[in-house]
Amino acid sequence: MGQTISQKIISAHLISGSMEAGSEISILIDQTLTQDSTGTMAYLQFEAIDIPKVKTKLSVAYIDHNMLQSGFENADDHKYIQTVAAKHGIRFSKPGNGVCHQVHIERFGIPGDTLLGSDSHTPTCGGIGMLAIGAGGLDVAVAMGGGPYYLSMPKMTQVVLKGRLAPWATAKDIILEVLRVMTVKGGVGKIVEYAGDGIDYLSVPERATITNMGAELGATTSIFPSDEVTRKFLEAQGRASDYVALSADSDALYDEVIEIDLSTLSPMVAKPHMPDNVVKVSEIEGLKVDQVCIGSCTNSSLMDMLKVAALLKGKTVHTDVSLVIAPGSKQVFNMLAECGALADMIAAGARILECSCGPCIGMGQSPRTDAISLRTNNRNFYARSGTASANVYLVSPEVATLAAIEGRVIDPINCGQPPVISMPDSFLINDNLVVLPPDDNHEIEVVRGPNIKPFPINTRLPENVSGKVLALLEDNITTDHIMPSNAKLLPYRSNVPYLADYCLTPSDPEFPKRAKENQGGFIIGGANYGQGSSREHAALAPLQLGVKAVITKSFARIHMANLINNGILPLTFADLSDYDRITLLDELYIDNAQEQIRSAAKDETVTVTNITQGYSFRTICSISERQAEILIAGGLLNYTKTLG
């Protein structure tokens, strides 16, 4: 039997386990990336492991999230990352060099290699046939130290793209259609591979848009073949030697196959407040728009930007619209300036932001009260923009640009022919904002600002676990709900005690106070709890507040792994009706916790008693024997120390 693309890469990197769906496997990681929102914690954890130099082929530390320097905190953290990178053999991408995913696919990604990143949109590099996976910072720290990355062997989903996109339909519309079909929970436990004759017409930047937003499916990763399109892109980047042809075998078996006829796709939009709330743009035509944001790691490539500039050329942004544009990398920004496209954007009235995540993560450009904001980024979770009352719609750059000009949403189908942009034969290569680590690191001093505080480390799991229910939460609670990451809080990403006071406040403003008053306890959540970012702070902040276990209908993959890595029990209801029985401040109790967790590695069952109401209920703890020992040890760092 043949293999899929992912199975070939996993097989070549397999360290332990059987490649059977659902079984725990471990793989060797070739490359890692971090960004500054998650990077400080990842490097603090790497230092705690006490390994002098990274053992990967390549590790890169990016500064792209928290670029606003309104106080000393951000600049201090950037200096810490730069010096710790130099000390441990890591390349440092300075502020201004660009968004990690855009830069990495341009300059560093290699087909057939593995990439682990402390950012959920790391799968962007799947656009060139790389097995790129988002993870928590501690998993990345272990990988930098040469340790394996553990995961459950995913199922394989194939999305067959047939035919060719009609005018005005884009790669953004392809992934929005996939989200409409599969939903934000439909990719959990799966790798999504793209195939069909339609991929021949998709450039690497277009493929990267699709793999980037595969994170919104909850998928482990998404991947395209490495083919002639890939070769031409790498050649244009001056990296022809990195090209490796890679495709699925003709007799590879998939657990699920989805077919999409590209010729039938229309421009699509994800309505508030979820990326799978997808309809045709024609269904919201005429909607008045207050703000348009173009950029982020999803749609900030040179091709995207050139299309935007072509549509803006000779036009003026509508009086009532604020248009902001953020190129994805210095390479993109520089080439826009050289060809005159940047001048066309500025002349039309666009505000040009630096090459950073910016509006996507609420880092500036928060819309006004009750605003309608069209954005080309990947997420439109409630309040993520920084304005809770705003409604954010996700669209292609073309739809966004036309709305900025007209002041309202228009269906571009009736706008004549779209601009046609071809991939350049060569990109401008200038890596002068990537700092290489020195050969001799003995004189390097790691600089730590006063805002960097020790991160919480759990203690060994007690024989009996008890505590009160501290929060009752609904379905689709995101990491933005659990640990907000806006412009006011991101400067404190190295200060978990400070951040903990804001944990879960978007959903329950009294949660931190309640957790402190009760010396920790349990969180009760709905389905897909922890979806969104790889943000490890969404586990560290609850740990700081004494949370012992989280019981939900279901978990998002990365967040569940982060809970385990920090020694917090991740339990799901065996009978969903038990979710409805629990009330706030009920006293819950798990007896013989260590024994139950060890047994859960075999039978998955953990019994919880509701002392307040006088009944017991069964939960599922889907863990391996290794993960059981991690939970008993009080987290991955403690467990690693027990291994000597």
- Per DSSP, the three-state class of 297 is coil
Q: How far apart are CA 161 and CA 428, in angstroms?
A: 31
- Per DSSP, the three-state class of 446 is coil
Contacts of 127 (CB under 8 A, 6+ apart): 105, 204, 205, 207, 208, 209, 210, 211, 212, 224
Q: Which amino acid is at 25?
A: I
- Per DSSP, the three-state class of 226 is strand
- Report whether CATH 3.30.360.10 matches the domain 5-264: no
Q: Which among 167, 178, 199, 179 is positioned nearest to 266, based on CA atoms?
A: 167
- pLDDT given at position 413: 93
Q: Which helix (H) or strand (E) holds 73?
A: helix 72-88
- Per DSSP, the three-state class of 529 is strand
- pLDDT given at position 459: 95
- pLDDT given at position 644: 59
- Contact (CB, 8 A) for 68 and 89: no
Q: What is the fold, at CATH topology level, of the domain defined by 465-642?
A: Aconitase; domain 4 (3.20.19)
Write out the two tokens for 262: 């590209």
- Contact (CB, 8 A) for 562 and 536: yes
- pLDDT given at position 382: 85
- pLDDT given at position 642: 80
Q: How far apart are CA 128 and CA 225, in angstroms?
A: 7
Q: What is the fold, at CATH topology level, of the domain defined by 268-412?
A: Aconitase; domain 3 (3.30.499)
The residue ranges of every structural domain in the chain are: 5-264, 268-412, 465-642
Residue 582 CA, distance from chain mean position: 32
Instruction: Kindly calculate the radius of gyration of the chain based on its CA atoms and give it in whole angstroms.
Output: 24
Tokens 């900025």 — which residue?
404
Write out the two tokens for 284: 């919201």
- Tell me the per-residue pLDDT of 569-582, one tens digit each, with 9 for 90 and over: 999 999 999 999 99
Write out the two tokens for 213: 């937003």
Q: How far is CA 145 from CA 100, 149, 208, 633, 644, in A?
A: 21, 11, 28, 20, 14
Domains 5-264 and 268-412 share a fold: yes
Q: Indicate the burial class of 417 (C-beta count within 10 angstroms; 0-12, 13-18, 19 or more).
A: exposed
- Per DSSP, the three-state class of 440 is coil
Q: Which amino acid is at 39?
A: G
Q: How far apart are CA 177 and CA 268, in angstroms?
A: 8
Helices 625-633 and 593-603, axial angle in degrees (round to 10): 160
The mean pLDDT values, 10 residues at a time, for the chain of 644 residues are: 96 97 96 93 92 96 88 92 97 96 98 96 98 95 96 97 97 98 95 98 97 96 98 98 97 97 97 96 98 94 97 98 97 97 98 89 87 95 88 97 98 92 94 95 91 91 97 94 87 93 96 97 96 90 98 95 96 97 98 97 95 98 96 94 74
- Tell me the per-residue pLDDT of 599-608, one tens digit each, with 9 for 90 and over: 999 999 999 9
Buried b (16+ CB within 10 A) or exposed e, 65-94: bbbeeeeebbebbbebbbbbbbbbbbbbbb
- Contact (CB, 8 A) for 84 and 433: no
Q: What share of the chain is helix, strand, coil (3-state, %, to 5)?
A: 35, 20, 45
Q: How far apart are CA 100 and CA 32, in angstroms?
A: 11
Helix then strand count (H, E) for the chain reads 21, 27
